[in-house]
A and B are shown apart, each in its own frame.
Chain A
């Protein structure tokens, strides 16, 4: 836990998550360019399951005209690559570093334009303990030798592979039509009928896919970052560029660190977001300042 960032420290940590329901969404084809992906196995799901996965992921980040949803943003590939992480060596879990090659190297003069190679395309090897933990997470505690550590004290871990495979298999089998062709209400019902752990896994993994580094399979070409006006990984250039000759920092005019952004606000708070913030304030006994 980080003592210095907002995130999990804030109110939301203590608000007990209820199983998510669904909203209307449209099915969309899978993700596009593979240029910035590391190669891993991808044949865990059948085609109908994969299409169902995309349609259900769109419940978390819906597709809209001109604004892609989770399926277009690579949620299926991200999840499938996670579930098959051990099919490659080293397992495709922790991308290497330090740089992705998306940002240039600083030149010591307060600028820079030479791109470093993309280290994120490789993966870090796992140590004995980390490997065991991830095998348990993906395959389930009962499927891993020595994985059931505290039987009777701690519930067994259901592996993510089984959770997704069985959940999608059943959903596809039970649906009256291919899931991606269902009406928004029909999709909504399928999602609500999923195991609550699987629903939670969607809520957790889809954002990772859409806004994590593209090398994990989602966020093709940084499209997820663009959608939300986020610059993504900034190294090695960063935001403060040190000029070694002059001994001072310069900033990037379009992405300043210490002053206001020059561009107009691309997405001001709307009434719906204000309503959510107001509810958070009520929950936490906070204040809307006049």
Chain B
């Protein structure tokens, strides 16, 4: 059993108004809003805690570090597929499964994946909420739908999240972005040298590079220090808490309120419904010691991330699934990664992974000269262990014998860390009913529970956008002075950490799982508050919208019909 503290916050609370399942980007905003308005909240989190003092006003100490072995090689906060596998198949015709292992897993820890995301936080654009209307049925097999909330409704929540997490950025620099009523609370931080080099090429091609909005302090903010551009940001927890993750901002505030208790290493395995299936009466969990325990409250919020949310409903007797839509319209972003290697050293491992990007390839609905792609991140290089993995794969593929001398030269000359850039386009992923999560019929996890099975194939919609923009990404590499350029092939099993859909929100209970406020159709006290609600994926990183939407869900729980009142 763990030596970690497994109960945080007010350990003496024994009765709760609300239980929130998952402490990540979807859960933390809900817990924060509810406790600010006097509700007693129990948070149940499957992962362990790696912050000291998260619930202590005297100080917060991160236990994360610039340590590749701990996070990249050994996966401190990644679910381990030896005991918590998932399964995959490209389509139903492929049999029960074609793969068992790690499929799109997010982090499992107090604070969720927001802890080790580098938290690039652009807003979605107004049109992203209207693709049902704008695209209709043009793309056979795709199920585009309008969001039940519009950009204008979400705007004040976006602004609130920008202030609460502390988002740096430059208002008006992204020409595709929607209107912002207030400035970002912080100016952009330092520009990575690699971004300047790409901007040189972009200027020649008329591409507009701008500072990427991110929840990272560019000055001391709310008691947390300025980011030092340490170089271990994406995939690493921040050692100094300069990263404004939902954990160290919203969740911490809730834990300090005395109205919140967080039980970690405690996984919810079943939602217990009343006889009529109209209310949730409790949740069954497996605690830190492996024993089962039940908790009860008046209301319940599912924020375990889209794949685990759907799994939990299916494990609970297909709950909330009158529409048959639970688990469906699972979306990722189709990432097109154009890799450039330069002759000279760019020290592209220094910085916060991405300081700049551009939205020129986001596209315009129904304009064939500008298909809907996505924002492009100008990404830096990895640390040395990750870099070595890159070369080892090349050498074991290219040669019969492992060429150790060349391996060493590659590490010394460092094309893959010092001289590399990756242009990563996060393209809109067409929702499809057939892309879904269900329970694997045979594969189980360490506690004997069926694991989630992901059935997923890309649609012509996003593949077409990739074909359209990939050559343009290559042209940009060339214009920027790269020596070598290539587009990484698509992985059959998407490795994207942008996971959306599965509990689509909408007004019509026949075609959606949750209502516009995030409450389940037909279940009066169960809500969802994460990316599972997204009807479409947009072509922007999802987490800002996810946190803003979760804040709105909580707002509606406190002030039904007037969720923005919690922003005051």
Contact = CB atoms under 8 A, between A and B. Distances in A.
20 contacts: A6-B420, A17-B393, A67-B408, A98-B61, A119-B65, A125-B3, A125-B4, A128-B290, A136-B82, A211-B385, A211-B411, A224-B384, A230-B349, A230-B414, A233-B65, A249-B189, A286-B487, A287-B486, A288-B483, A289-B484
Is the interface on chain B under 10, 10 to 19, 20 to 34, or 35 or more residues? 35 or more
Interface stretch (B22-30, B153-161, B492-500, B525-533): B492-500
Interface in A208-233: 208, 210-213, 216, 224-225, 227-233
Max count, chain A CB within 10 A of own CB: residue among B227, B232, B383, B445 = B383
A197 B49 CA distance: 34
Given A247-B219, A249-B190, A4 B234 contact: yes
A255 B407 CA distance: 25
Query: Which of A15, A98, A285 has the most chain B CB atoms inside 10 A of its CB?
Result: A98
Given A133-B84, A211-B384, 17 more contacts: A1-B104, A8-B386, A14-B489, A20-B396, A21-B402, A129-B84, A132-B82, A149-B83, A154-B85, A212-B385, A229-B418, A234-B228, A234-B231, A239-B230, A239-B351, A244-B220, A255-B347
Interface in A1-60: 1-23, 25, 58-60
A75 to B, nearest CB: 12
A249 B443 CA distance: 52
A136 B380 contact: no
Given A3-B424, A146-B446, A284 B417 contact: no
A11 B488 CA distance: 4
Interface in B44-95: 47-48, 50, 61-70, 73-74, 76, 80, 82-85
A149 to B, nearest CB: 6
B380 A5 contact: yes
User: For chain A, which range describes its interface: under 10, 10 to 19, 20 to 34, or 35 or more residues?
Assistant: 35 or more
A61 B392 CA distance: 11
B65 A25 contact: no
A203 B193 contact: no
A21 B400 contact: yes
Q: Is the interface of B mostly helix, strand, loop or mixed?
A: loop
Binding site secondary structure of chain A: loop
Interface in A247-286: 247, 249, 251, 255-261, 265-270, 272-273, 276-281, 283-286
A124 interface: yes
A127 interface: yes
Contact of B4 (A127, A234, A289): A127
B552 interface: no
Interface of A: 1-23, 25, 58-62, 64, 67, 90, 93-100, 106, 119-120, 124-130, 132-134, 136-137, 141, 146, 149-150, 153-154, 157, 188, 192, 203-204, 207-208, 210-213, 216, 224-225, 227-242, 244, 247, 249, 251, 255-261, 265-270, 272-273, 276-281, 283-289
A204 B196 contact: no
B369 interface: no
Contact of B401 (A2, A20, A96, A125): A20
A276 B404 contact: no
A126 to B, nearest CB: 7
B235 A2 contact: yes
Contacts of A228: 384, 411-412, 414
Interface string B405-433: 11111111111111110101010000000
B191 interface: yes
B250 interface: no
A98 B62 contact: yes
B190 A150 contact: no
A269 B347 CA distance: 15
B568 interface: no
B413 A273 contact: yes
Contact of A208 (B61, B73, B404, B413): B73
A240 B353 contact: no
A269 B406 CA distance: 11
